[in-house]
Structure 1
Amino acid sequence: MPIPEKLFLSHASADRPFVNKLATFLGTRKIPFWYSKRHVVGAQQWHDEIGKALKRCDWFLVVISPAAVRSKWVKRELMYALNEDRYENRIIPLFYKPCDTEALSWTLASLQRVDFSKNFDQSCQELIKIWRRS
């Protein structure tokens, strides 16, 4: 798999502490990413900024948790990615907390995924291996 030019990090706001930790890891590995906390500023039209980022990015990571399953924005972002050919084989669910994933999308079971529910450091290494970086 090619190394991301820029990945989109979809998550529920309740999962922000985990996403911040993941963002720090990605930054130390020099993997470019976009996520709302870092890239949407003040009074910007956040939904427009999300849309622009989805069009620019070439990989899509979605943090899976009960909060994500309830989030209409996570679902909208995931549906966008699933419908875009350029995200084919470039969507990676990151399982953060156990939940009913089918409530978010029945397609998640068929995608390559990384389970972050047990060991963060090992899961980060597993994620990196997807792009053949160590």
Structure 2
Amino acid sequence: MNVFISYSPEDSEWANTLAERLRSAGFGVWDPETELYPGDNFALKIAEALENADAMVALVSPDAMASEWVRREIDFALGASQFSGRLIPVVVRPTEGFPWILRKLKPISPEGGPSAAADSVVQALQRAA
């Protein structure tokens, strides 16, 4: 299963921990930090990655909810059938901008930090596989 991680650069510590844990559990991971290079057509690369993903983990924080890119990625996942039951929100930091629809998807809480959240994501994706 290929997993797309949607997050703000300010949440890269959480994203890195999550990506490492997902890879060690046998998942393919598309992370913009390691997949995008200067000169790349970011919109095209992200669109291709979303089309090829089977699941999305959205890291939710005030910074992420202020990011146009993160919002677009989440909007895409909400409308794409391949993400049905496989869009997992992870609360990095509480935010008033948390979209109501993501609240309905039973977000993973930040309690226990990035490692505990990563373990919960792995378990959720294994159940969804």
- CA deviation profile, 1:27-75 (whole Å, cap 9, x unmatched): 2222111010111122111111001101110101100011011111100
Match of 2:40 in 1: 44
Q: Over the residues paired in the alignment, what is the CA RMSD in angstroms?
A: 1.7
Distance 2:10 2:115 in 1: 21
Extract unaligned runs of 5+ from structure 1: none
Aligned residues: 127
> Is the Cα contact below 8 Å between 2:6 and 2:57 reproduced in 1?
yes
CA distance in 2, matches of 1:14, 1:22: 14
Which residue of structure 1 lines up, in the alignment, with residue 120 of structure 2? Answer: 126
Worse-matched range after superposition: 12-21 or 55-64: 12-21
Query: How far is the alpha carbon of 1:120 from its aligned partner?
Result: 3.2
Q: Give, in whole Å, the separation in 1 of the partners of 2:113 and 2:13.
A: 15
> Gaps (5+ residues) in structure 2?
none
Aligned to 1:24: 20
How do 1:59-98 and structure 2 match up within 5 A?
59-98=55-94
Q: TM-score, normalised by structure 2?
A: 0.89
1:99 deviates by 0.8
Matched, 1:12 2:5: no
Indicate the structure whose relative CO is greater, using CA pairs within 8 Å and at least 6 residues apart: 2
Of 79, 100, 110, the match for 1:106: 100
Which residue identity lines up with residue 116 of structure 2 in the other structure?
Q
Runs ≥4 residues deviating over 6 A: none
- State the shift of 1:121 in Å: 3.1
Once the two structures are aligned, what percentage of the paired residues are identical? 24
